[in-house]
Structure 1
Amino acid sequence: MKLSRIAAAVTTAALAPAVLIASPAFAAGSDAPAAGNQPAPTTPDQPAPDQAEEDRKTILAIIAHPMASEYMKKAGQKAIADGPQAMRTFIEVDQHRIRLDDYRVAILRLTHGAGRSLTEGINDILDKGTTVEQLRHFYEVTQHELRDVDNRVEILKLLSTGGPSVKEACQKALNGSPADRVAFLKTGRFLAQASDDRVELARIDEGWDGRILSDAISKLLNGSPTPAELRHFLEVTQHELRDQDNRVAIARIIDGGGPELVKAGRAALAGTAAERAEFLKTGQHEARAKDEAAKDKQKPAPGKDDQGKGSGSGTPSAGSGSGSASGNTAVTAQGGNGAPLAATGAGDGTTLVAGGAGTALVAGAGLLLAARMRRAGAKA
């Protein structure tokens, strides 16, 4: 036998036990698992995932985010179209740069309707915010804190100027949460204001005499007005109706009035609503005073109707030299016995004195004449 064959036989004999032990038939002994409960075979290694496909899915998620701008969406779609390298560049570099710009634009838009605190915060973050994280925190957290500060300030202003219902609602909102304050400024304030407006309209109706405004207030309150309709009536409509009532009142006042009253009333009717209100408040009284003063000037002064006129039938006062006396001196004789004459008007006392003196003078002259005649008879 050749040596090669001997070596092959020895090798076969040596390997035979190992082969038998490893075979399934040999392994199936009393300690082997029962049939059907064999361990699962080892899963063969899977190939590495396709990086390009993963990048594509990542980009699609980025551009689907609510904060993604149109620019972000277009840039992501372009990167997908341009291939794996462009997608990797978009994910690692471009998306962060674009997101920084998107947050800046979104924060800048917050300035619309922003209060003082929020406005200052926006200016500060736009000047100092250099990372996406800083801008995101401001947009998602800080802006709401600053907005609540501004809401508190606005509510405090309403608290200082509002009516009873508004004040009560303001205090409740201030003691509540930020959401309560937002809800109050959005709707609660108007409901509270409507309650106060109803009270104010009832007060106006009670104190107003004009029919036009009063009728309109009654009609409004008996209906179902919205808060906006009540506010508009108080701020606009009531003043228009007041002026209509004022026009009616002025027309009644000047009807049959004096010249100055009519003149002032017509000027007010042709003027502004404020001028008509002023006429009713003070102008009508000033115009009436002028008309009264004009009437007083036209009346004759007492006792001076015939001043300066002489009497054609009375006796002229003594010493006048011309037969006339100052003032009204018309007199009539009261009997034929030489009694003093009556006088009318100014200077009555002077006339009586003059009449007495004249009578005494005549009597004295008669006595003197009689004495002379007696002396003449004696001499004869």
Structure 2
Amino acid sequence: MASEHMKEAGRKAMSDGPQAMRKFIEVDQHRIRIDDYRVAIMRLSHDAGPALRAGIESVFKGGESLDQLRHFYEVTQHELRDEDNKVEIARLIGTGGTAVKEAGKKALQGTPADRTAFLKTGRYLAQASDDLVELARIDEGWEGPILSEAISKLLDGSPTPAELRRFLEVTQHELRDQDNGVAIAQIIHGGGPELVKAGRAALMGTPADRVEFLKTGQHEARAKDEAAKNQADKDKDRDQGQGKTEPGQDGKDQGTGSGQGTGSGNTTVAAQGGNGAPLATTGAGDNTTLMAGGAGTTLVAGAGLLLAARMRRAGAKA
């Protein structure tokens, strides 16, 4: 168990004779052990939490005897590490979904080894379960075909917890924006001037611009087009009442204006930007590669959730 430094010093003492060996046993080995423990304890700070980091700083402010360093390395560091683990688990419970909360509370009531296992692998399996529930909720509430098809494809491919997390944190928002772009193009087709103008501006803008158009902008633009149409009808009726002729009628007032404008836009297209709830933050942390067996078991339940959600939606439409 000796370090390379200790081994090298011991070999030199043996080659230098009895007096050097006696000095090594009585003096040098203890000094070298102190140096070795100092190095080992300093290395702990690379992945230390607040409690362990404070403990490392404290031990170096003391006398740094061999017994103190040995006790810190063999006992105290594990106690402080467990304190940091409890704090991290409590944070995950506060921000996580149902599965993460349940698994985290169980870990807090268990042993230090249980808490280490939860932070290493359990949290990701629990998060995957919560993510599957969230995917089912999104699929049930979203009408755009691009995102819904991508969700089906994702689950058919038996994704890992890390792939589920990335889909919810990144991919779903990209696909929502694609669906919103398609919806806007359908809305402005054959619409009035203001609706077309606002829709084109949204298509050339940001994802937030497209969401805003579908939520409120399209209705404001339609109102402007309707107001312009009504004003044009009033002006036409007034001109006809004063005996003014329509251009191209050679002075003959035929009085055939019906006042039926065509610029009101397609008001039957539902906005698709406002029915997706924001994703809950769950603290995914390190995307550690997990065993395929554990992730696969979790996904079986997720497929059932997705199927149930689609059946409920189909029943509601019927």
Could you tell me the TM-score, scaled by structure 2's length?
A: 0.71
Contact 1:197–1:230, Cα closer than 8 Å, also in 2: yes
CA RMSD of aligned residues (A): 2.1
Partner of residue 188, structure 1: 122
Separation in structure 2 between the aligned mates of residue 73 and residue 218 of structure 1, nearest angstrom: 60
Separation in structure 2 between the aligned mates of residue 143 and residue 154 of structure 1, nearest angstrom: 16
Matched, 1:112 2:49: no
State the shift of 1:268 in Å.
Answer: 1.6
Matched residue type, 1:239: H
Matched, 1:297 2:231: yes
Separation in structure 2 between the aligned mates of residue 219 and residue 168 of structure 1, nearest angstrom: 29
State the shift of 1:309 in Å.
Answer: 6.8
Partner of residue 140, structure 1: 74
State the shift of 1:84 in Å.
Answer: 3.3
SS at match of 1:305: helix
Q: Which runs of 5+ in 2 are unaligned?
A: 245-318
SS at match of 1:180: helix
Partner of residue 192, structure 2: 258
Matched, 1:272 2:200: no
Which of residues 159, 169, 175 in structure 2 aligns to 1:241?
175
CA distance 1:148–1:129, shift in 2 (3 Å): farther
State the shift of 1:255 in Å.
Answer: 1.3
Q: What pairs up with 1:307-346 in 2 under 5 angstroms?
A: none
CA distance 1:308–1:212, shift in 2 (3 Å): closer
Deviation string 1:78-123 (CA, Å, 9 cap, x unpaired) is 3334333333322222222222121111111111221111111111
Matched residue type, 1:221: L
Partner of residue 284, structure 1: 218
Partner of residue 227, structure 1: 161
CA distance 1:248–1:101, shift in 2 (3 Å): same
Partner of residue 177, structure 1: 111
Q: What pairs up with 1:56-135 in 2 under 5 angstroms?
A: 65=1, 68-135=2-69
Matched residue type, 1:276: R
State the shift of 1:298 in Å.
Answer: 2.3
Contact 1:129–1:135, Cα closer than 8 Å, also in 2: no
Matched, 1:152 2:86: yes
State the shift of 1:209 in Å.
Answer: 0.4
Which structure has the higher relative contact order (CA within 8 Å, separation 6+)?
2
Deviation string 1:36-58 (CA, Å, 9 cap, x unpaired) is xxxxxxxxxxxxxxxxxxxxxxx
Could you tell me the TM-score, scaled by structure 1's length?
A: 0.60
Separation in structure 1 between the aligned mates of residue 218 and residue 243 of structure 2, nearest angstrom: 42
Q: Which runs of 5+ in 1 are unaligned?
A: 1-64, 311-380
Deviation string 1:214-235 (CA, Å, 9 cap, x unpaired) is 0111122233221111111111
Matched residue type, 2:8: K
Separation in structure 2 between the aligned mates of residue 108 and residue 228 of structure 1, nearest angstrom: 32
State the shift of 1:249 in Å.
Answer: 0.9
State the shift of 1:307 in Å.
Answer: 6.5
Separation in structure 1 between the aligned mates of residue 240 and residue 90 of structure 2, nearest angstrom: 80
CA distance 1:171–1:292, shift in 2 (3 Å): same
Matched residue type, 2:51: S
Runs of 4+ with >6 A deviation? 307-310
Deviation string 1:313-372 (CA, Å, 9 cap, x unpaired) is xxxxxxxxxxxxxxxxxxxxxxxxxxxxxxxxxxxxxxxxxxxxxxxxxxxxxxxxxxxx
Deviation string 1:270-289 (CA, Å, 9 cap, x unpaired) is 22212211211112112222
Separation in structure 1 between the aligned mates of residue 8 and residue 116 of structure 2, nearest angstrom: 36
Higher helix share: 2
Separation in structure 2 between the aligned mates of residue 306 and residue 282 of structure 1, nearest angstrom: 37
**Which has the greater radius of gyration?**
1
Which of residues 186, 199, 202 in structure 1 aligns to 2:136?
202
Separation in structure 1 between the aligned mates of residue 8 and residue 203 of structure 2, nearest angstrom: 68
CA distance 1:298–1:81, shift in 2 (3 Å): farther
